[in-house]
Amino acid sequence: MKTTFSIKKNICGLAEVFLLLYVAENVIGSSGHLVSFGSVSLRMLLFAACFLLTSYFVFVRRRDLLKDQRIVLTVLFAIWLVFCTLLGIKFKNQTNFIWSDLSSFLGLALFPGFIVISESQRGIKKLIEVVFWAALVLSVVTIGIHLCIPIGGEKAICSINTFLNSKSLGGLALLNSGMHRVYMRSQIFIQVAIIYGVWLIYNRNGKSRIPVLICEGIMLFALLLTYTRGFWLGFLVSSILLLLLEFKNWNKLLAIAGIALCVMGVFVGISTWVYNSPCVLTEAVSRISPDLLVNHEVNNNVENAGTIGNEESTDLITDEATGNTNKENLPEVSINQSAEEMTMTDIANLSALEIRSKTLEGLKERISDHPIIGNGLGSNLTEIREDGRTEYMYLDILLKTGIIGLILFLLVFFRSPIMLLIKCLKGKNEISEDDKLCAEVLVSSYIGVAVTSIFNPFLNNPMGITLLMITSTGLILFKGSATK
């Protein structure tokens, strides 16, 4: 009997280790192709190991799980996805697009096992630590690339960009100042990790807080280097929400922010020295210009720009939505320029804005064809895009799965975080201050990613699903409330 218990305990421990490795790989590995063995990737192997190791415990807890509304809603959503797959086949959507849409949600198969193994206070806090330190590694790589580019020159740029593209990690884009934007899809976790870091700082005393504070500044600078406004907006929303939830400790939060900004300032200084210019800041200012909004002026300006340009200028950055090279995600510039004043990059940016405008129009038109059940998985705006996805995640889901699918998606991906937010607001006396802050950083960071996903799809893929599972597990912090 004692031997059987020991075996179960060891398997449970092993399952937890593999789940943590799976989370870490998602944070660093973007699309899951960072490490591959032929056609098999490390993420596939970790997924299979996690699924197999948790299966026994899922079977033992099956009655409890069948009463858990998180699992019930996930199963209903999975059934609807199968229906939409058949619908996509019926409408003769491209098979590779259908598989791409379906496989992006396969991570939900780990949800039951994730709940069973990780749903403990010890488990949730381990997950936060893993995300934080893995995101730090990603941030250091981002900053390293940024500082190495002016030293390595064109050869380094080509080598780095080729590697990032080949692994579906991201890519580089030449900005107007001559500096390169460093973009990787999994940098979405940097905005999450900075918020998680607040809890880590609160859980350390004295000098032990200093390394974490420095790490916060490092990640803040890495977030700047992405030059992705969606990331910046999501992080801002998370920060404001956390400040509101922890308003009684606003002075501590502002102190953390101040120190992180000082550390970030040091790296800005280093960058300015390496590049002989404060371009890292001037590019940030240009990225938040109100002139960058998509409006009716775009089409006229693009027409005025004519066909001047070079196709190579539109092929410098990996698509934030799909990980494929796409001109859509080049850094934009002001649309109030004459054709004579425009650089090649400016013209490419106007073209990108035109594509976004046409994408929105195309989505509205196609959604109206089958608003209730959708057009099936694999639906694509063929005349506009070639990747089977659009950067407008919620509209993309509505296009493919209809109103029914969108409602189920929202229930699966937002019921638990909203419940967690409500409990943070109401459960002041139910749990300790430490656990309450833990829950607050979980929900604040998740809502920030949800905001980012308005413009770039990050929730409907393994990275977003991983974040959903981590956030949902936070419900255990409130006594016995996880399945109510």
Burial of 339 by CB count in 10 Å (0-12 exposed, 13-18 middle, 19+ buried)? middle
pLDDT at 4: 61
| pTM (predicted TM-score) | 0.85
Residue 151 tokens read as 């030293």
Please tell me the distance from the alpha carbon of residue 1 to that of residue 149, in angstroms, as a whole number: 61
What are the start-end ranges of the H helices in 288-392?
Answer: 297-305, 344-367
129, 24 Cβ separation under 8 angstroms: no
For the four alpha carbons of 475, 480, 482 and 484, in that order, the dihedral sign comes to: negative
In this structure, the number of other CB atoms found within 10 A of the CB of residue 314 comes to 20
AA letter at 119? E
Please tell me the distance from the alpha carbon of residue 445 to that of residue 95, in angstroms, as a whole number: 35
Q: How far is CA 474 from CA 62, 124, 446, 477, in A?
A: 20, 6, 12, 6
Residue 438 tokens read as 């833990």
Q: Tell the residue number behind the tokens 């694999």, with chain if given.
A: 378
pLDDT at 266: 96
pLDDT at 359: 79
Element (H, E) at 41: strand 40-41
pLDDT at 369: 87
Alpha carbon 141 to chain centroid, angstroms: 17
pLDDT at 430: 66
pLDDT at 213: 95
Beta bridge partners of 174: 180
pLDDT at 410: 96
405, 80 Cβ separation under 8 angstroms: yes
pLDDT at 427: 64
Please tell me the distance from the alpha carbon of residue 414 to that of residue 162, in angstroms, as a whole number: 37
Element (H, E) at 37: strand 36-37
CA dihedral 412, 413, 416, 419 (to 10 degrees): -110
User: Closest Cα partner for 116 from 44, 68, 78?
Assistant: 68
User: Closest Cα partner for 330 from 144, 160, 171?
Assistant: 171
DSSP SS3 for 40? strand
Beta bridge partners of 36: 41
pLDDT at 141: 96
Please tell me the distance from the alpha carbon of residue 49 to that of residue 14, in angstroms, as a whole number: 10
- Mean pLDDT by 10-residue block, N- to C-terminus, for the chain (484 residues)? 66 90 93 84 93 91 89 95 94 90 92 86 85 96 94 87 89 88 93 96 89 96 93 95 92 93 96 92 79 38 32 35 39 38 51 73 85 90 73 88 95 94 77 87 96 88 93 81 43
95, 88 Cβ separation under 8 angstroms: no
pLDDT at 449: 95
233, 451 Cβ separation under 8 angstroms: yes
46, 25 Cβ separation under 8 angstroms: yes
Helix 393-426 to helix 344-367 angle (10° resolution) is 80
355, 327 Cβ separation under 8 angstroms: yes
Q: What is the pLDDT of residues 140-181, one digit of tens each?
A: 999 999 999 998 888 889 999 999 998 888 999 888 888 999
